Every structure is written in C-alpha cells, then in structure tokens.
C-alpha cells in the first residue's frame, strides 16, 4: 500500500472518529441541557424502538429514521414526546387540534397528543441494527470505538515504521556490500 493511500485512510478514520465523537457530544447536550429527547439537526433524526407496541411493523431494537413534522396523516407512524419519554405509535384518528395514536400491538388507543408533542413521522427503519448502535451511544461504547480506531491507526503506523526500518536495513546492507567491493578493487 503506498504512502498517499495510507495517509488517506488515516485521515478518513480520524474524520469518522471526530464525527462520531461530535455527534455523541451534540446529542448528549441536546438531551441533558435542552431536554430534547430527539434532536433533529437537519430535519431528520434517528431512534431505537424500545418496546414491542408496534409489532409486527416495528420490533424492539429496530433503528427508525424520523423526518421532523408538525402534522401527520391518518395511518402515519409518528414519534412524539410524552414527558421525558419518546413514543412510536400509529395515528389512528384526529381530534380537536391533536392526534390519537395507538401501537399496532395495543388493544386501546393512547390519550390524544398535541402537535407540540409531535417530533416527526417515521420515514423508514432498519431491523435489529438499533441494538448495536444503541451500544455505541453509551460512554463505554464510545470509548470502545475510539480505542479500536486508535489501535487501527497505531497498527498502521507500526507497520509503516517496520517497513521503513526494513528498507533502512536493506540500504545499510547494500552500502556495506558496496564498500567491500570497493575495498577489493583498491588492493594491488
């Protein structure tokens, strides 16, 4: 692998690490300081489904992507905040200035919600990946990713250093060989 490609890979790993760390810091601050359980920096957010109330459509551990919205239509799967909890349910009716939602696996509808509680509409989901990604959001998961990235970068540096050392030894050996050859030709 040539030097330019190695440098590019190192930079990509460092940028990825910076992004992961930056997003985690942003999300943590948004949740703790502002009290926003689902920050949506560019009008999109992601969350992990924590219960089975939307079975079989959404299962526990699914990663959902949510588009920020201030209204929803009948049949939309929405995310809303109730107190400090995010709820993912389907809109089953509209009422005076609000919505009535219900989990697909639930027998009864929820209490109506206001549009102020609405975070957005679920756009798509990726089954089961949310559990693994949820681990990355923990301090231990973040540290593990950082440690892994550091180890990969360090391993790359060590391999490069070993290759440089091997090349240096080959050059020294060639110089020694050439000196010996010159020494043989100088004698009468």
Residue 29 CA to residue 23 CA, distance in Å, equals 10
62-88 b/e (C-beta count within 10 Å ≥ 16 → b): bbbebebbeebeeebbbbbbeeeebbb
DSSP element (H, E) containing 125: strand 118-126
Catalytic residue among 51, 76, 110, 112: 110
The question of whether 51 is a catalytic residue gets the answer no
Q: Are 143 and 96 in contact (CB under 8 A)?
A: no
Residue 47 CA to residue 120 CA, distance in Å, equals 11
The question of whether 53 is a catalytic residue gets the answer yes
Residues designated catalytic: 53, 89, 110
């Amino acid at each position: 692998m040539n030097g330019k490609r190695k440098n590019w890979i190192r930079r990509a790993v460092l940028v990825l690490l910076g992004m992961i760390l930056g997003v985690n810091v942003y999300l943590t601050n948004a949740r703790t300081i502002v009290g926003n359980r689902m920050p949506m920096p560019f009008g999109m957010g992601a969350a992990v489904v924590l219960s089975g109330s939307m079975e079989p459509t959404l299962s526990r551990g699914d990663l959902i992507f949510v588009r920020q919205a201030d209204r929803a239509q009948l049949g939309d799967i929405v995310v809303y905040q109730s107190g400090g909890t995010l709820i993912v349910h389907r809109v089953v009716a509209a009422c005076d200035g609000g919505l009535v939602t219900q989990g697909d696996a639930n027998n009864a509808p929820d209490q109506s919600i206001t549009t102020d509680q609405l975070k957005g509409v679920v756009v798509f989901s990726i089954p089961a990946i949310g559990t693994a990604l949820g681990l990355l959001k923990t301090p231990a998961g973040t540290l593990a990713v950082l440690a892994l990235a550091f180890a990969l970068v360090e391993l790359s540096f060590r391999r490069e250093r070993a290759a440089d050392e091997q090349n240096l030894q080959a050059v020294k050996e060639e110089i020694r060989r050439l000196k010996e050859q010159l020494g043989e030709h100088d004698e009468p």
